[in-house]
Amino acid sequence: MPDMNIPVGFQVASKWSAIYFEIHGVYNYFKIFSLAAHVIINMEKNKMKLLKKHTEYSLYLIMMFFANNAFSSAYYNMHFINNSNTAKVTFKRIDQGCMYSSGPSPIELEPQKDISFDVEDSNNIFSGCHDETKFIHWSVEYSQGYNTNSCIIMMDHNNDDIDNVWRTYFLKYKECNLPIKLICDGSEQACKQNGLTGHHKQQLTVEIN
């Protein structure tokens, strides 16, 4: 019931004012809610952008690690020479470890013939080769007429020394009476004493007289 002590016009104006402020308050509430939601969404977007950048950078570092270490490899140029005028020489690969490629086998060299080829070692972490010894073993058969003698030679690349330096050894296995020279970058001594300090594309040569 209208209050008889308050003018009717004032009562009507008050009523509509209350309705206006109620509606306006709801509008402001939704406006504030929408603004807060917008701020939250933008914060989440920024977090996702930062997370994406962090993920990309982490993946980059991982890829660099694998490229430079976990999947790295080294090449060696092998040169097998048969200097004999009469003997036929046959090389057969009998063992290998942590190698991507180990060259052809068997290799048959007639007198005064030679062959060159590359081998590549593996440092693949998923193959159990990371920081592990890389090696190839060959049997060598030296045939003159009806007589055949044989022995084993081996290439060994490791970092077993206390200084943790990669070195390559090119050696005859146990006793080998064949007329064989093993040469590492032009030096016989480098093959067997302190080893040849690791570097890319080492030259490993076998000379048979």
Tens of pLDDT, residues 177-186: 899 999 999 9
Give 139's contacts (C-beta < 8 A, 6+ positions apart). Answer: 91, 92, 94, 150, 151, 152
**What is this structure's pTM?**
0.67
What residue numbers bound the domain in which 79 lies?
75-208
Query: Does residue 59 sit in the same domain as residue 82?
Result: no
Can you spell out the DSSP letters for 58-114? Answer: HHHHHHHHIIIIIT---EEEEEEEE--SS-EEEEEEEEEESEEE---SSEEE-TT-E
Q: How many CB atoms lie within 10 A of CB 103?
A: 20
pLDDT higher than threshold 60 for residue 54: yes
Query: Does residue 151 sit in the same domain as residue 61?
Result: no
Overall number of domains in the chain: 2
pLDDT at 148: 93
Least confident of 82-91, 130-139, 167-176: 167-176
Query: Does residue 26 sit in the same domain as residue 79?
Result: no
pLDDT at 196: 82
Computed from CA positions of residues 38, 41, 46, 49, in that sequence, does the dihedral angle turn out positive or negative? Answer: negative
- Percent of the chain topping pLDDT 90: 46
Tens of pLDDT, residues 67-124: 445 557 889 999 999 999 999 999 999 999 999 999 999 999 999 999 999 999 999 9
199 — pLDDT class (breaks 50, 70, 90): confident
174 — pLDDT class (breaks 50, 70, 90): confident
Query: Does residue 154 sit in the same domain as residue 97?
Result: yes
Q: Which of 10-19, 48-57, 67-76, 78-87 is modeled with the greatest confidence?
A: 78-87
Give me the chain's average pLDDT, please.
80
Q: Tell which of 15, 35, 70 closes a domain.
A: 70
pLDDT at 91: 98
- Percent of the chain topping pLDDT 70: 69
Cβ contact 91:107 at 8 Å: yes
Q: Tell which of 42, 70, 98 closes a domain.
A: 70
Query: Does residue 65 sit in the same domain as residue 79?
Result: no
What CATH number has the domain bearing residue 84?
2.60.270
Q: Which of 137, 161, 160 is closest to 150 using CA atoms?
A: 137
Q: Which of 93, 80, 88 is closest to 181 using CA atoms?
A: 80
Query: Does residue 26 sit in the same domain as residue 93?
Result: no
Q: Tell which of 24, 40, 70 closes a domain.
A: 70
Alpha helices in the chain (DSSP H): 8-65, 189-192
In this predicted model, which residue has the larger pLDDT, 187 or 56?
A: 187
Task: Report the distance separating Cα 19 and Cα 151, nearest Å.
Answer: 107
The first and second tokens of residue 174, run together, are 């146990």
13 — pLDDT class (breaks 50, 70, 90): very low
pLDDT higher than threshold 90 for residue 151: yes
Query: Does residue 100 sit in the same domain as residue 185?
Result: yes
